[in-house]
């Protein structure tokens, strides 16, 4: 039995634009998905999802999911969740040159499903790592991140970026631009997360931005502007000392860019009333900045605030079902004792 866990993430800036080669800066957070893998004698895969913000389900299959679990979330989310597990299994089998390997897999997660915190990336990264280790062929982190990206690319019909999977693999803050991925130094930022209890359709949202960008020059300019503000944010982080608490000046600078980023994402049509309400509640509570995180359409916002004011304000905001702090996860994927 092999158990691996990988962190979720928030975007400081850059989601959606990263699909078009612009830079993005996601940061890993201490909300994790844990995947337990045990090889089995046949070629079947038995998946138990103990907690993916679902009621919990078990399904056994041989290569495809023909009998979807009965749970009280949209079928598209369930199909996607199982698709990610399927793709992770295929990548692990290919890496180990074991096309007929079977597994008993248990997935546990405290990352809301489809909410913009990288739940799928964390499951895929932890799943591939655990499965390849169980087969005796552990991967180095670069190859693991690459195979996890390929799994997401497959499930998302070619619209994935490397940002989520690279961040979940490496931990900390990372900078991603196209195929260029690197870890960057960042202080431990005071993240506050607001969750509306919902989820956006990543594929549809990405496709919507693509359609706008192809139809309107100003939409393409909006995407490019997101890239410009990411580069400015990188400069602020590069000038900061990662070993000390972030200064108010740094938080003000990053927060201003986050506010701009949210406005640009809203202009591209990927925000939602619940997300906007939480963003404004955070700002009015004194947060240095706030924005949606992830694909949008519902899910989570991230704010910067070391005080208790923002989580308190969010907890009283209509449409927010959960507000919590999230520490920077300096460790990426890791093996844990079963």
3 state DSSP class of 237: helix
| Comma-separated ranges of CATH 3.30.70.890 domains in the chain | 191-326
Q: Per the CATH hierarchy, to which homologous superfamily does domain 191-326 belong?
A: GHMP kinase, C-terminal domain (3.30.70.890)
Q: How far apart are CA 91 and CA 239, in angstroms?
A: 39
The string of pLDDT tens digits covering residues 17-44 is 998 999 999 999 999 999 999 999 998 8
Could you tell me which residues come within 8 angstroms of residue 293 by beta carbon, excluding any fewer than 6 positions away? 10, 11, 15, 116, 117, 193, 299, 300, 301, 302
Point out the residues that are catalytic. Answer: 164
More confident residue, 175 or 84: 175
| Comma-separated ranges of CATH 3.30.230.10 domains in the chain | 2-184
Task: Please give the mean pLDDT across all residues of the chain.
Answer: 89
The string of pLDDT tens digits covering residues 164-175 is 999 999 999 999
The string of pLDDT tens digits covering residues 238-284 is 999 999 999 999 999 999 999 999 999 999 999 999 999 999 999 99
Least confident of 46-55, 121-130, 310-319: 46-55
The string of pLDDT tens digits covering residues 207-224 is 999 999 999 999 999 999
Residue 75: pLDDT over 60: no
pLDDT of residue 64: 47
With bands split at pLDDT 50, 70 and 90, how would you rate the model's confidence at 45?
Answer: confident
Q: How far is residue 313 CA from its own chain's centroid?
A: 24
Residue percentage of the chain with pLDDT more than 90 = 73
Could you tell me which residues come within 8 angstroms of residue 329 by beta carbon, excluding any fewer than 6 positions away? 7, 28, 29, 30, 32, 171, 172
Q: How far apart are CA 166 and CA 337, in angstroms?
A: 23
3 state DSSP class of 80: helix
Q: How far apart are CA 103 and CA 106, in angstroms?
A: 10
Residue 63: pLDDT over 80: no
Task: State phi, psi for 164 to the nearest 5 degrees.
Answer: -65, -50
Q: How many residues are there in the chain?
A: 338
Residue percentage of the chain with pLDDT more than 70 = 90
For the 2-184 domain, the top CATH level (class) is alpha beta
Residue 141: pLDDT over 70: yes
- For the chain, how big is the Rg over CA atoms in Å? 19
Q: What angle, 0 to 180 degrees and rounded to 10, lies between the N-to-C axes of helices 141-155 and 75-96?
A: 140
pTM: 0.87
Contact indicator for 168, 28 with CB cutoff of 8 Å: yes
pLDDT of residue 110: 87
* Residues facing 102 on adjacent strands: 40
Find tokens 């074991």 and name the residue.
98
């Amino acid at each position: 039995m092999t158990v691996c866990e990988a962190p979720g993430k928030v975007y400081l800036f850059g989601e959606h634009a990263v699909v078009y080669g612009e830079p993005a800066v996601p940061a890993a957070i201490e909300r994790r998905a844990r995947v337990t893998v045990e090889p089995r004698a046949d070629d079947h895969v038995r998946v138990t999802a103990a907690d993916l913000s679902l009621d919990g389900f078990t399904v056994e299959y041989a290569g495809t999911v023909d009998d979807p679990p009965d749970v009280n979330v949209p079928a598209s989310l369930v199909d996607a969740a199982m698709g990610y597990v399927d793709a992770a299994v295929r990548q692990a089998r290919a890496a180990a040159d074991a096309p007929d390997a079977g597994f008993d897999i248990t997935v546990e997660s405290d990352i809301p499903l489809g909410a913009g915190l990288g739940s799928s990336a964390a499951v895929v990264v932890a799943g591939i790592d655990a499965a390849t280790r169980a087969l005796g062929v552990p991967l180095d982190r670069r190859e693991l991140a690459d195979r996890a990206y390929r799994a997401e690319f497959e499930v998302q019909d070619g619209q994935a970026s490397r940002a989520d999977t690279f961040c979940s693999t490496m931990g900390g803050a990372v900078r991603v631009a196209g195929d260029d991925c690197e870890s960057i130094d960042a202080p431990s930022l005071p993240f506050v997360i607001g969750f509306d209890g919902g989820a956006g359709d990543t594929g549809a949202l990405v496709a919507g931005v693509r359609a706008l960008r192809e139809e309107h020059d100003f939409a393409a300019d909006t995407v490019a502007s997101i890239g410009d503000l990411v580069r400015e944010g990188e400069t602020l982080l590069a000038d900061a000392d990662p070993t000390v608490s972030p200064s108010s000046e740094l938080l003000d600078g990053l927060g201003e860019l986050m506010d701009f980023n949210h406005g640009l994402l809203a202009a591209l049509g990927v925000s939602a009333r619940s997300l906007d309400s939480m963003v404004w509640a955070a700002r009015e509570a004194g947060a240095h900045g706030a924005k949606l995180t992830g694909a949008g359409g519902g899910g989570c916002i991230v704010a910067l605030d070391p005080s208790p004011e923002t989580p308190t304000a969010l907890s009283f905001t209509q449409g927010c079902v959960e507000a919590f702090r999230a520490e920077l996860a300096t460790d990426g994927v890791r093996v844990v004792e079963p």
